Amino acid sequence: MKVENKATQQTPDTNDKKSSCNKSFPSLATCWGILLLIVVLRFYFSTVLEKRIANLTEETQMLKKKNEELETEKKNLTEQIQQMMTPWIELNVSRAQWSIDAYCPKENNNRKCKPCQAGWLDVESSCYAVNDAKREEWKTWEEARENCTRKISDLPVVINEEEKKTVSEKSWKYENKGYWIGLRVEDGIWKWLDGRNLTNSSWINQLPSDGHCAVSVQNEGFKSVRCDEKNRLICKKKALSV
Ligand SMILES: *[C@@H]1O[C@H](CO)[C@@H](O)[C@H](O)[C@H]1NC(C)=O
Ligand SMILES: *[C@@H]1O[C@H](CO)[C@@H](O)[C@H](O)[C@H]1NC(C)=O
Ligand SMILES: *[C@@H]1O[C@H](CO)[C@@H](O)[C@H](O)[C@H]1NC(C)=O
Ligand SMILES: *[C@@H]1O[C@H](CO)[C@@H](O)[C@H](O)[C@H]1NC(C)=O
Ligand SMILES: *[C@@H]1O[C@H](CO)[C@@H](O)[C@H](O)[C@H]1NC(C)=O
Ligand SMILES: *[C@@H]1O[C@H](CO)[C@@H](O)[C@H](O)[C@H]1NC(C)=O
Nearest ligand, CA 180: 4
For residues 172 and 133, is the Cβ–Cβ distance under 8 A? no
Residues 223 and 137 placed together within one structural domain of the fold: yes
How much is the pLDDT for 21? 52
Last residue of a domain, one of 59, 86, 113: 86
Q: In terms of C-beta density within 10 A (0-12 exposed, 13-18 middle, 19 or more buried), how is residue 45 classed? A: exposed
Nearest ligand, CA 162: 6
Residues 127 and 220 placed together within one structural domain of the fold: yes
Distance from residue 187's CA to the centre of ligand 3 (Å): 38
Position 79 pLDDT exceeds 60: yes
Pairwise pLDDT comparison (63 vs 46), residue with the higher score: 63
Q: Does residue 68 lie in a domain region?
A: yes
pLDDT band at 6 (very low <50, low <70, confident <90, very high): very low
In Å, how far from its chain's centre is CA 92? 20
Residues 78 and 129 placed together within one structural domain of the fold: no
Residue 208 belongs to domain with CATH number = 3.10.100.10
Q: Does residue 100 lie in a domain region?
A: no
For residues 236 and 200, is the Cβ–Cβ distance under 8 A? no
**For 100-131, what is each residue's pLDDT tens digit?**
999 999 989 899 999 999 999 999 999 999 99
**Which residue's alpha carbon is nearest to atom 14 within ligand 3?**
89
Whether the CA torsion 188, 190, 194, 195 is positive or negative: it is: negative
Residues 73 and 128 placed together within one structural domain of the fold: no
Position 239 pLDDT exceeds 80: yes
Enumerate residues lining ligand 1, CB below 6 A: 55, 58-59
**56 Cβ contact partners less than 8 Å away, ≥ 6 residues apart:** none
Enumerate residues lining ligand 3, CB below 6 A: 85, 88-89, 92
Last residue of a domain, one of 40, 71, 86: 86
Phi, psi of 28 (to 5 degrees): -65, -45
**For 163-203, what is each residue's pLDDT tens digit?**
999 999 888 888 889 999 999 999 999 999 999 999 898 99
Question: In the beta sheet, which residues pair with residue 177?
Answer: 174
Q: What is the residue range of 191's domain?
A: 121-238
Spatial distance between the Cα atoms of 235 and 147, rounded to a whole number of angstroms:
8
Residues 77 and 155 placed together within one structural domain of the fold: no
Last residue of a domain, one of 62, 86, 110: 86
Q: Does residue 91 lie in a domain region?
A: no
Q: What is the mean pLDDT of residues 37-45?
A: 87
**Which residue's alpha carbon is nearest to atom 13 within ligand 5?**
196
How much is the pLDDT for 75? 97
Q: Which amino acid is present at 21?
A: C
Q: Give the chain's domain count.
A: 2
Spatial distance between the Cα atoms of 120 and 102, rounded to a whole number of angstroms:
11
How much is the pLDDT for 23? 55
Residues 126 and 234 placed together within one structural domain of the fold: yes
Residues 82 and 127 placed together within one structural domain of the fold: no
Distance from residue 199's CA to the centre of ligand 6 (Å): 10
161: Cβ below 6 Å to ligand 6?
yes
**Which residue's alpha carbon is nearest to atom 5 within ligand 5?**
189
Residues 133 and 40 placed together within one structural domain of the fold: no
